[in-house]
Structure 1
């Protein structure tokens, strides 16, 4: 989230693009929604990820280990938090999602589905699974916020016949309507895995409304491979100051040219080899060929949902600050246009005590820390694969990124939530 700034005037109803690189098995494919004429899209999949054939993957998503999910679940699982997925709908027939999805909103007039519980595109279903997939026997898939609830808000269709019937594509004015509907329904987190180079006044107004209603909008920074404008330039709604803008990193947690970069980028998250829900059929590994900011955005929305549970009285900008301030990066007081403030670390964000001394982005409550307390040569290591420990107070500096597991318990003694410890969700 960035300081407010001026903007050029844009036109309403601009066409958005949603890109999701899919690799189910060995086949890489791309889902594209774009164009001023009625939109069409294709999503080729491998035979072992047939949307009509149930397929479960026993191994857990690799991203959960990288993000320190098991440690985070000791503090929060997203219970009681409503996350809106402003997208193509969510297929509630997928067993991972049946108990997670609530009655949603259909803004494109889909016959027979006013709740948004179907999804010919598969994109919204994939995003929802990353956020809140429930455990299912025989599958290792579970969302990063496995107890959160999903509010589907359908704002586009993808199959050729439906797009032609609707007469339009994914438009910024419709996304704006979706954000407003999500905020008015009570969503605390609003996931928008969509981006446009057009600054639409209606879209900006919707984001501002959501912020006033206490909802954090998390949006993708843009995919280069599915963009007509491939320049590193602002994408909307991600570039609005109230929005947490997300880019994708590769399997080594490094920036990738697959994503749009620029000053609008706030944080990064894994965006390749994403195991998630696939239509009604079960599981599929997506984004095997190139990184997708759509999927990176979903993981950050899930992390925000964990924060919304643990800190229900905080403002959206405080949740965003926690994720930015604790993200893994090379220098604690510097951001860059490739990864923003770095790769999110949900556990560290949950454990952060915001007293105004954290180096990096200014605190919404305390402002920017004194320069003397922001050593430029200090780094925040990701460390999620080995031991995603949170920050601890040090006598000679603000943070020490712990290298020993024993420090985890010590750092949490003063901040652990009341009640029994949480464990990984069990299969039902």
Structure 2
């Protein structure tokens, strides 16, 4: 079967997210046995403590089928910041967003909910925020041209409307990708409100490993992808911002055509797995800061690479069970993070706690000396001369 890339776009934003096999009809009761992600990240161990109850995960994506049997009752009233494109019932409506939501909070269906997709945090709620269109939506180019600020606006809207975690299974990893001050500021706003932000690291591993945004913004938990053998997937982008890795190949997801399920691959499903893991941690320990949670995921990761981290796996495979267990030993941050002043550069280090915690995955050398900062500023000015996205 051929593989097709679902790259929903909003303005200059290209979803680095999901490449899927064509939807294949399947018996619902055969779906559960195909799911390998929950076991890989030790979700069952975490479920002894929590299944995500009380936590809302904002899914910034193509929309979500709130009436899907695997999600019914879990999806809150969200926001459409695109305002055009496919509508419910159309074949190009909410495919990607529904898939990601099922990975996060699918609870299955049937008399005992033994059928369909079971997510990593099956009792979490989903807050859908539509910021991109599916690749095959006839109006995606129009949306790209007219809705340049949808992602930034979506982050702020989610932060102001009850999100406890923000999932962005999307990104721009094109050759012209670069940080946008509006997006960066929106992420810092969410982090300053104590909301962890998760993004897919990018699917550019076979095309140059270009930096992907929003994954590369300061403070974001950036997720790379592995296969069921624990190996790096060839498409997964390798870069300095990788925090952890998660299952990203042959991941079973729900589809708005409710009798159909599909296998997907990409750093999108990997990001959804990690967002669900964060939801489990926040459900049990809601007062931990985004910086504490990011470090917790890195410190408790499985299969740690030599040296503690690398650009392929980050700090290793996320471990939901170990993260929830270890979180019990952490003391909540003494105060909520506050935004860092950007001074002459907007791509700053992100919020910090009153008692700063150094990122365990060696994020960026923001603590370099004055000479290093001068070199960075020079390089930044030269870089800004590159062509912008269009």
Confirm or deny a common fold (TM above 0.5).
yes
Q: Given the alignment of the two structures, is residue 86 of structure 1 paired with residue 63 of structure 2, yes or no?
A: no
The equivalent residue for 1:28 is 3
Could you tell me which residue of structure 2 aligns to residue 323 of structure 1? 297
Q: Note the 1:58-137 alignment, pairs <5 A.
A: 58-60=31-33, 61-110=35-84, 120-137=93-110
Q: 1:172 to 1:272 in 2, by over 3 A?
A: farther
Q: Between 103-112 and 93-102, report the one with greater CA deviation.
A: 103-112
Report how many residues are paired: 327
**Following TM superposition, by how much is the alpha carbon of 1:97 offset from its aligned partner in structure 2, in angstroms?**
1.1
Query: Which of 128, 147, 154 is equivalent to 1:152?
Result: 128
Deviates more, 1:272-281 or 1:125-134: 272-281
Q: Does structure 2 conserve the Cα–Cα contact (< 8 Å) formed by 1:191 and 1:298? A: yes
Tell me if 1:304 matches 2:278: yes
Deviations 1:235-262 (A, max 9, x none): 1111112110001011211112211111
RMSD: 3.5
1: distance between equivalents of 2:270 and 2:146? 20
The answer on whether the counterparts of 2:223 and 2:246 sit within 8 Å (CA) in structure 1 is yes
SS of 2:6's equivalent? Answer: strand
SS for the counterpart of 1:86 is strand
- Structure 1 residue runs of 5 or longer lacking an equivalent are 1-25, 357-362, 370-428
Q: CA deviation at 1:191?
A: 0.3
The structure 2 residue matched to 1:278, chosen from 239, 243, 255, is: 255
TM-score, length of structure 1 as denominator length: 0.68
CA distance in 1, matches of 2:91, 2:66: 7
Q: Is the 8 A contact 2:84 2:143 kept in 1?
A: no
Distance 2:222 2:12 in 1: 28
Q: Find the aligned partners of 1:93 and 1:141 in 2 and give their Cα distance.
A: 14
Q: Distance in 2 between matches of 1:332 and 1:39?
A: 33
CA distance in 1, matches of 2:235, 2:13: 26
Query: Paired residue for 1:202?
Result: 182
Query: Any stretches of 5+ residues in structure 2 without a counterpart?
Result: 332-351, 360-390
In the other structure, the counterpart of 2:340 is: none
Name 2:192's counterpart in structure 1. Answer: 212
CA displacement at 1:87 relative to structure 2 = 0.4
